Structure 1
Amino acid sequence: MRKMSALLAIFALGVVACGKSSNEPGGSSSSGMPPADLVLLNGNIATVDPALGTVEALAVNDYTVTAVGTSDEIAAYVGPETRVIELQGRFVMPGFIEGHGHFMSLGRAKQILDLSTVKNWDQVVSMVAVAVDKAKPGEWIFGRGWHQDKWDSVPADAVDGVPTNDTLNKVSPDNPVLLGHASGHAAFANDAALEAGSVDDDTADPAGGTIVRTDEGRATGLLRETAQRLINDAINVYNGRLTPEETERIDRERVMLASNEALRFGVTSFHDAGATFETIDFFKELEEEGALPIRLYVMVRRATNEEMDEMLPFYRMTAEGNDFLTVRSIKRQIDGALGAHGAWL
């Protein structure tokens, strides 16, 4: 796992994987150079170093590029245990770094309804209807990715560009539904989800959040910023049905789904903008197993100031293990987001 991860941490997976790989034993040069863990040959490799320019080949040892040059020169680094990838002229470049993302949320988004490409509200309702047909009564249905500014039409009953949940209620009377906004700063709930969270027309807006309402005062289903948390207890109760083993399986699947999605676009390092101490413990476990496919730079989030003071000294991690896990920042929010109309503007 780590030998492939060393490659992924340097180069875009989708490009490199096009080449043929071989683990056939190779000789070493008369110079006696130590054999590399990984060698790429016969490619078009952008070093992004003006002094080096483009090269044919490179060698990697202990997660570090140790040599670049012609294929003949780098062949000297091939030993019995070296993995060799014949690029056959294909292009290779250093991997991209995601500057701000939410790693576990990215994986979760692949497990639930993907609403990122819907063209209008009717498509959202149709996707939920299909999910309801496959679900048991009472089973929660989650989705994420919708953005009202991307729709080709504004619903007739829209409040600030977003509809009421009437049409959603018709297709999901017995299933709580919660659909996250693309920004993560809002969510849309049907009446069953609002009821599960004890949210009604008379529920007061929480500090830092808004229960969006019609002019008549009826809750539309849209929950902005901290108002999303009003339903968290109900979701936690629902998730409590899972055994610890099932929860870990789901979390590990999320890591793989998030990693695959990032690597698909050549992202090999990821700034995770907010993880709990518990999630960081999970990342550290994976790193120690060699099961983190990409490098994570994690910000600590969702802890009180008192918890931060107590716990941060134990969670500062600089290049943990083989440089696949770094924790050296925190995240705090003082305002909402523009896309979800939660910002104070």
Structure 2
Amino acid sequence: MKTVADIILHNGNIQTQDGFHPMARAVAVSGKRILSVGSDRDILGLASSHTQVIDLDNRLVLPGFIDTHFHFYEWALNYDSIDFSRVGSFKEMENAVSNKALALGEGNWVLGQGFNESDWPENKIPDRYDLDRIAPNNPVCIWRCDLHLSVANSLGLKLAKIGFETPDPEDGVIAKDTSGRPTGVLKELASNLIRNVLPKPSRAAVLENMQKAVGDAHKFGLTSIHDIRLMGGLDGADALKAWQQLHRENRLHIRCHVALPGEMTDQAIDLGLCTGFGDDLLKIGYLKFFSDGGMGARTGWMTKKYLDAEFGMPLTPVADIERAVLKADQVGLSVMVHAVGDRANKEIIAMFQRIESHDRTRCIIPHRIEHVQMILPEDLEKLSTLKNIAVSCQPNNLSLDISMIDSCAGPRGKYAYALKNILKTGVPLMLSSDAPVADPNPLAGIYSAVTRKRMNKTPEKGWYVEQALSVEEAVKGYTITPAVASGTGDCLGSISKGKIADIIVLDQDIFKIDPDGIADTKVDITLFDGRIVHER
């Protein structure tokens, strides 16, 4: 490493996330590495006439954010779809679909994502007839914010060949009325019947959208992501090919762990793949399995009935997941298991207890449980006994789910998003967005974890605030904890000498401001690989 800095950031409030040197005033970058961290005087002494010197004016500096559960490929592909995340009513949804249909012209697919009926005054999920009325001459399919439920109109259903006689696919539900006619509502893998007939974008369009998405990620301070597969694994091979092409063409400007669908376990083993294989830009991630669905679709697997539905549903049988994990574990392939409902978490934690009892793991990188959205106290205790497990939770989903959980689970909502209790188990707690399910901005996630409020600052005193994290705990969940838990702690996660220079500068000190202002904080500068890739 050179002894002269290419970039120096000084006069700053640097919260390094390095336990040995937690605070500093300045940092020097040489190439893609951190040359030194320390006082203004020491660091400015490393400048030459060619060094870019940036006066931070006491702004807060953190390591680049790491999002460990981001459906990035899906997010990028949907750049041209309707974004319902800020649509506040059923009527606004209707207007958005109608306007998109007019803009696209007759016969073209109208697609949208992110509606959350539980926060609409009407509290109504649309059906095929609503969409027929709004866009009678276009096939339409729109996805709920959790991606576990979609709604198609009659033209969309016809193109997907979904009718009276169509049986439910494995791990999916085609909702039907009392006469047996599909209502347009599709749950879990039934939505893939629509995905299978959607026009495929060109590879050039996919790569262009992915590069746009990376640019937007930089605006949020994201420098590393784990790109996670959706259920059914339709995008698994295509996503990996796209990431590899960006890398080959020197167009990959974010660090990425690419997850593989659990259905590819045998192929991955036969190819000799293992988690962490790759370089500091692109790595093979985890095998992804689904034990249940989502609470919004009432498919999250519960120990007690929903107030307005049955028990939800298991998806991949736990015994099948266990057999696959045992095989994968022996070749160094780590797994992540989606578990939302309290029954799903109970079963998956018990599964990992059985697996750890074999005491012969070969996985260096811990297995993971994703979401842990609702967990009972007795299962938290069992979670604390696991030695080779990390947890990835999505606090920003909390802001979407408050009304829905109150409605379908009532007082049992106290077991949902139990972030503080999960942290107390000692299991590494990684925080993430689940985008496009929720806002990909880590500052919005930190806000949600700390305040337990919706983005509109309600409820005023927060929701089950005993489970709130401190700002320090939440920041660790987006920086050093995921770096260590995913095997990259030697080079990422803190602002430390010798580590890769992924660094962000914020316009407000989130450790000192009113927590309600955290979500409004902006990223002024993002350094990735020692280069400034975003400057506000």
TM-score by length of 2: 0.52
| Among 49, 52, 56, the residue aligned to 2:18 | 49
2:193 is the counterpart of 1:230 = yes
Give the letter for the 2:244 counterpart. K
2:281 is the counterpart of 1:318 = no
Change (3 A) 1:37 1:287: farther
2:219 is the counterpart of 1:260 = no
Change (3 A) 1:82 1:291: farther
**Pairing 1:120-135 to 2, within 5 Å after superposition:** 120-135=89-104
Q: Are the counterparts in 2 of residues 138 and 175 from structure 1 also a CA contact under 8 Å?
A: yes
Give the letter for the 1:226 counterpart. L
| Among 42, 46, 68, the residue aligned to 2:37 | 68
Q: Are the counterparts in 2 of residues 276 and 303 from structure 1 also a CA contact under 8 Å?
A: no
Change (3 A) 1:219 1:309: same
Report how far residue 145 of structure 1 moved. 0.5
2:308 is the counterpart of 1:331 = no
**Residue ranges of structure 2 left out of the alignment (5+ in a row):** 230-234, 302-310, 312-536
2:184 is the counterpart of 1:184 = no
Report how far residue 302 of structure 1 moved. 6.6
Report how far residue 112 of structure 1 moved. 1.1
Report how far residue 335 of structure 1 moved. 2.0
Change (3 A) 1:282 1:81: farther
User: What per-residue deviation string (whole Å, max 9, x for no partner) do you get for residues 290-329 of structure 1?
Assistant: 3222211221127444433334x25755351xx1212132
**Pairing 1:162-201 to 2, within 5 Å after superposition:** 162-201=125-164
| Among 104, 114, 117, the residue aligned to 1:148 | 117
SS in 2 for 1:144: strand
SS in 1 for 2:197: helix
How far apart, CA to CA, are the structure 2 residues paired with 1:79 and 1:216?
78
2:258 is the counterpart of 1:298 = yes
Give the letter for the 1:339 counterpart. G
Q: Are the counterparts in 2 of residues 185 and 336 from structure 1 also a CA contact under 8 Å?
A: yes
How far apart, CA to CA, are the structure 2 residues paired with 1:250 and 1:53?
43
Report how far residue 81 of structure 1 moved. 5.0
2:172 is the counterpart of 1:209 = yes
User: What per-residue deviation string (whole Å, max 9, x for no partner) do you get for residues 14-35 of structure 1?
Assistant: xxxxxxxxxxxxxxxxxx9622
| Among 58, 64, 68, the residue aligned to 1:89 | 58
Report how far residue 75 of structure 1 moved. 2.2
User: What per-residue deviation string (whole Å, max 9, x for no partner) do you get for residues 253-291 of structure 1?
Assistant: 322333233333322221212262332132122224332
Q: Are the counterparts in 1 of residues 69 and 226 from structure 2 also a CA contact under 8 Å?
A: yes
Report how far residue 111 of structure 1 moved. 2.2
Give the letter for the 1:254 counterpart. N
Change (3 A) 1:326 1:54: same
Which residue does 2:205 correspond to in 1? 250
Rg larger for: 1
Say which is worse superposed, 253-262 or 119-128, in terms of deviation.
253-262
Aligned residue pairs total: 297
**Residue ranges of structure 1 left out of the alignment (5+ in a row):** 1-31, 156-161
Which residue does 1:109 correspond to in 2? 78
Q: Are the counterparts in 2 of residues 107 and 254 from structure 1 also a CA contact under 8 Å?
A: yes
Give the letter for the 2:17 counterpart. V
SS in 1 for 2:34: strand
Which residue does 1:11 correspond to in 2? none
Q: Are the counterparts in 2 of residues 47 and 93 from structure 1 also a CA contact under 8 Å?
A: yes
SS in 2 for 1:331: strand
SS in 2 for 1:77: coil
Change (3 A) 1:289 1:43: farther
Which residue does 1:34 correspond to in 2? 3
User: What per-residue deviation string (whole Å, max 9, x for no partner) do you get for residues 56-84 of structure 1?
Assistant: 21012343323112223212333455443
How far apart, CA to CA, are the structure 2 residues paired with 1:180 and 1:305?
28
Q: What percentage of residue pairs aligned between the two structures are identical?
A: 28
How far apart, CA to CA, are the structure 2 residues paired with 1:86 and 1:99?
31
Report how far residue 41 of structure 1 moved. 2.1
Q: Are the counterparts in 1 of residues 112 and 143 from structure 2 also a CA contact under 8 Å?
A: yes
Q: Are the counterparts in 1 of residues 127 and 151 from structure 2 also a CA contact under 8 Å?
A: no
Report how far residue 147 of structure 1 moved. 1.9
SS in 2 for 1:89: coil
Which residue does 1:20 correspond to in 2? none
2:263 is the counterpart of 1:277 = no
Change (3 A) 1:86 1:252: farther
Change (3 A) 1:135 1:230: same
How far apart, CA to CA, are the structure 2 residues paired with 1:209 and 1:33?
57
Give the letter for the 2:219 counterpart. R
Q: Are the counterparts in 1 of residues 87 and 115 from structure 2 also a CA contact under 8 Å?
A: yes
Q: Are the counterparts in 2 of residues 188 and 221 from structure 1 also a CA contact under 8 Å?
A: yes
Change (3 A) 1:198 1:280: same
Q: Are the counterparts in 2 of residues 41 and 85 from structure 1 also a CA contact under 8 Å?
A: yes
TM-score by length of 1: 0.78
